[in-house]
A and B are shown apart, each in its own frame.
Chain A
Amino acid sequence: MTQLQYKGTGSANGGTGSRYWKDKTGYLGVLPFLLFSGVFLLYPTWNVVSGAFKDNYGKFSTATLSEVFNSSIARHAFANSLEISVKTAIFGAILGSLFAWAMSTGKPGGVFYKISVALSSVLAQFGGVMLTFAFLATFGFNGFVSTLAVKFLPNSFLAESAWLYGKTGLTVLYTFFQIPLMVLVFLPTLENLKPQWREASDALGGKAYEYWLRIGIPVLTPSFVGGALLLFVNSFSAYATAATLISLSDFLTPLEIATALTSETGGSNPAEAKVLSLFMVIVVVIAMALYALMRKRVSKWEQKR
C-alpha cells in the first residue's frame, strides 16, 4: 500500500523532485574539492591556530604566545621575512608585468608567445634546492660565471660572489620565481585591455598618456596589486630555497618553524612552531583578504567583455 501511494504521488511530484536534485547535483562536483581543502587546509590551519594557545602537553596556555611575541630574535626573523617578501613582491610585480606587457603586444598564439607562457609556467615552480643549486653553480664563489669573471672581469660584481650568500642573494633567488608567476597572473588582464578602448580614446582626441592615465592604468591597477599580493604570500611562505642557501635557524620565520619542529640539539618545541605559524597565518589572511577585494574589482572589468 505504501509502495503504491509512493508510486502514485511519485508521478505527480517526479518533475519537481528530479529538478530539485538536478540543482543540487551541481554541488556534488565541488565536493571532492571541499573535502580536500577541509582535510589538507582547514584542519591543519585549525590545528595550528588552536595549538598556538596550548603548551606542549595540550593544556591551555598563552605562555609560548607571549614569549614568542616578546622575543627580539623572533621579531627580527619576522621582520626579515616581511622585508624579503615585500621587496620580491614589488620587484617581481614590476618586472613581471613589464614582461607580460611585452608578451601581450606579440602575436597571440605565436611561437614566441607560446614559448614564453610555457616557460613562465615552469619557472614559476622552480624553487627550493634546485634553484639554490643553480645559482650557486652559476654565481657562487666556485660557480661557472664567477670563475670566468675572476679571470676576465675581476672588478665586476660577478667576480665577488659574497652578495649571493645573504639577504641580497635570497631576494634575487625569490624574484627569479616571482617574475614568471606575475607574468602568468597578469597576462590575462592585459589581454582584456580592448583595442576598442584605445580607438575610442584616440577618436575622442585623447593622447597616449591620457589613455594610460585614465583608462589603462585604472583598469590594470587592481590586477597589478592583486598579483603583487599573491607574490608577497608566495615568498612569505617559501622555505626550501632559504633553508639551503642560509643555514641560520633564526633568519626567517619559516626556518625558525622548521627548527622548532626538528631540532636535534634539544630545541624542539612544537608549541613554539605553532605560535610562529599563527603569526604567519594572520599575515597571510590579511594579504588574501586584500587580494579577494582586488579580484572583485578585476572581475568587474572582465565581465564587461
Chain B
Amino acid sequence: MKFSKLTSGSVAAALVVALAIPVISASSASATSKTNYSKVTSASQGGGMTALANACKKEGQLNVIALPHYWANYGDMITGFAKQYDVKIDEADPEGSSQQEIDAAVTNKGTNRSPDVFDIGLAVAVKYLGTGTFAPYKVKSWSYLQGAAAVSSTGEVTPNYTGTMTIGYSGALGTITKLNDLLDPKFKGKIALNGDPLGSSAAMNGIFMINKALGGTFDDVTKGVAFFKKLKDAGNFILVNPTQSTIESGQTPVVIDNGYLQANVVKQFAAAGQVWKLFTPASVGSTYNMAISAWAPHPACARLWMEYTLGETGANVFASGGATPTLWVHLVKTGRASADGIASIGKSKVVAEAATAAQTAAARVYLKTAWPEAVGTN
C-alpha cells in the first residue's frame, strides 16, 4: 500500500514476491468447519460472530501484507487482533504498494502464503472491481461507514480510513500560519514531499492540498504545481524522499505527508523532548480500502479481520493513530468515540475531501510532463 516509504526493498521485494516458490498448496482450512467461509458475504450468513471467531481460531492464521506498524496505527491493530482472537498474523512485505499487494495475491494464488486481506488505495481498488480479485463481504457496521456504498454497493471493497494531508515541520522553525510562509529563505533546502505524484498517492494528495488552499480544484492542479515551482525556484523544495531517518535527523525538517504518518512523528519528537508541528492549509484526504482476497487461504480470519478493523474497536485504533476511520462520524454521533481518538483527530464530522479515481488519473496525465518541468532537475 505504502509506496511512499519506498526503499531499496520495493523493487527487490517485487522480485522476491514474483519468484516466491509456491510452498504447499493451501490446505483448505475451512473444510474443518461446516461453513465454507470463502463464499460467505456477511457474519450472519456464516452463523454469527462467535461462529466466525471460532472458525478463524481453527484456521489459526491470518496473512496480511503491506501494513507498516507506523502507518495508521497498524502496529496496535495487528497486536490487538492477534490477542483478542488468539491467531498468528503473518505480515508480508510491510513496505509494499497497493499494486504489489494484488500482484502477490495473484502470484501466490492457491498457496497458504497468499495474502488474505488487502489495504489498498482507491485507484488500485477501482481498477480491480468486478475482476474476481475480491471476495464481497459486508461487515456489520457497513451501513454506518461513510462512502462504503459509493465505492462498492456489494462490499467488494470497503473504505476503512481517510488520511488527511498535512504539512509537518520541526518546531525549531517557528510557526507556519499561511502557505506563503514556506517561501521564506529560512526554509531553504528544507521542504520535502513524500514521493513523486506519478507513483505515490501521498505526493499526489500533497499537490491536491496545496492546490485547493490556493483556490484550485481536483480537476485542475495548475495552481498547486505553480506553487511547487515557486518553492523549487526559491531553493526551498528538495526532491529527497523523506524517511523516518531523514526526519529524525533533521535533514527534511518540513514534510508534506499523510496525517496518520505525521501523528507518529509527533509522538517520537515529543518522546525526544522536541516539537513536531502540523499545518493543514486545506482539508484534502485520501481513503484507503479494505478487501478480502478471492484466493484467501484463511477465509474466516479474513472476514473476522474486516469486522475487527471496520468495527468500533478498529475505528478507535485508527483514530488514535491519526487516521480518520470511516465509522468515525457514527461513533461521534452515538458518543462512543474514544477519548484518545478525539485527542488525535478531533470530533470533526466532515471527512476530508478526496479526489475520485478519474480525477487522480487525469491529474497524473498532466503531471507526467508538468511536474518534472516545475520541480525537476536537469
Contact = CB atoms under 8 A, between A and B. Distances in A.
B14 A165 contact: no
Interface in A119-142: 128-129, 132-133, 136-137, 140-142
A265 B99 contact: no
Contacts of B372: 248, 250-251
A182 interface: no
Contact of A136 (B188, B199, B246): B246
B378 A264 contact: no
Contacts of B357: 266
Given A141-B188, A248-B372, A257 B11 contact: yes
Contacts of B377: 165-167, 246, 248, 251
Given A133-B245, A244-B241, A262 B204 contact: no
Looking at chain B, what size class is its interface with the partner chain?
A: 35 or more
Nearest to B188: A141
A162 B199 contact: no
B190 A141 contact: yes
B19 interface: yes
Contacts of B7: 128-129, 240, 243-244
Interface in B358-373: 360-361, 363-364, 368-369, 371-372
Contacts of A44: 15, 18-19
Looking at chain A, what size class is its interface with the partner chain?
A: 35 or more
Nearest to A254: B11
A123 B3 CA distance: 28
B243 A244 contact: yes
A43 B20 CA distance: 13
Contacts of B11: 239, 254, 257-258, 261
Contact of A140 (B121, B124, B203, B251): B251
A266 B123 contact: yes
Contact of B196 (A133, A161, A247): A247
Contacts of B3: 262-264
A240 B121 CA distance: 24
A173 B188 CA distance: 22
A263 B240 CA distance: 18
Contact of B100 (A43, A254, A261): A261
A266 B196 contact: no
Interface in B334-361: 357, 360-361
Contact of B203 (A43, A161, A247): A247
Interface in B50-68: none
Contacts of A263: 3, 97, 99, 198-199
Interface string B155-199: 000000000000000000000000000000000111001011111
Given A44-B15, A133-B251, A140-B189, A266 B364 contact: yes
B10 interface: yes
Contact of B360 (A137, A246, A254, A265): A265
Interface string B134-165: 00000000000000000000000000000000
Interface centre among A40, A162, A249, A266 (most CB of B within 10 A): A266
A249 B99 contact: no
Interface string B24-40: 00000000000000000
Given A136-B246, A244-B7, A262 B189 contact: no
Contacts of B99: 261-264, 268
Given A244-B243, A249-B198, A259-B198, A265 B8 contact: no
B253 interface: yes
B285 to A, nearest CB: 14
B262 interface: no
A264 B121 contact: yes
Contact of A267 (B193, B240, B364): B364
Interface centre among B15, B238, B246, B378 (most CB of A within 10 A): B238
A162 B235 contact: yes
A292 interface: no
Contacts of A257: 11
A266 B134 CA distance: 18
A287 interface: no
A286 B123 CA distance: 39
Given A128-B8, A258-B10, A268-B124, A248 B196 contact: yes
Contacts of A268: 99, 124, 127
A269 B291 CA distance: 22
Contact of B251 (A142, A264, A266): A142
B47 interface: no
A73 interface: yes
Given A262-B10, A267-B199, A268-B99, A167 B251 contact: no
Nearest to A77: B372
Contacts of A216: none
B98 interface: yes
A240 B11 CA distance: 9
Nearest to B249: A137
B251 A137 contact: yes
B240 A245 contact: yes
B280 interface: no
What 5 pairs across the A-B complex have the smallest Cβ distances? A141-B189, A240-B8, A166-B377, A262-B97, A264-B201
Interface of A: 39-40, 43-44, 47, 73, 128-129, 132-133, 136-137, 140-143, 161-162, 165-167, 239-240, 243-251, 254, 257-259, 261-268, 270
28 contacts: A39-B19, A43-B19, A44-B15, A129-B8, A129-B245, A133-B243, A136-B251, A140-B251, A142-B189, A143-B251, A165-B189, A167-B378, A244-B243, A245-B241, A247-B193, A247-B203, A248-B371, A254-B11, A259-B199, A261-B10, A261-B99, A262-B6, A263-B199, A264-B98, A264-B99, A264-B204, A265-B199, A268-B99
Given A128-B8, A243-B8, A264-B97, 6 more contacts: A137-B249, A251-B372, A254-B11, A265-B200, A267-B198, A268-B127
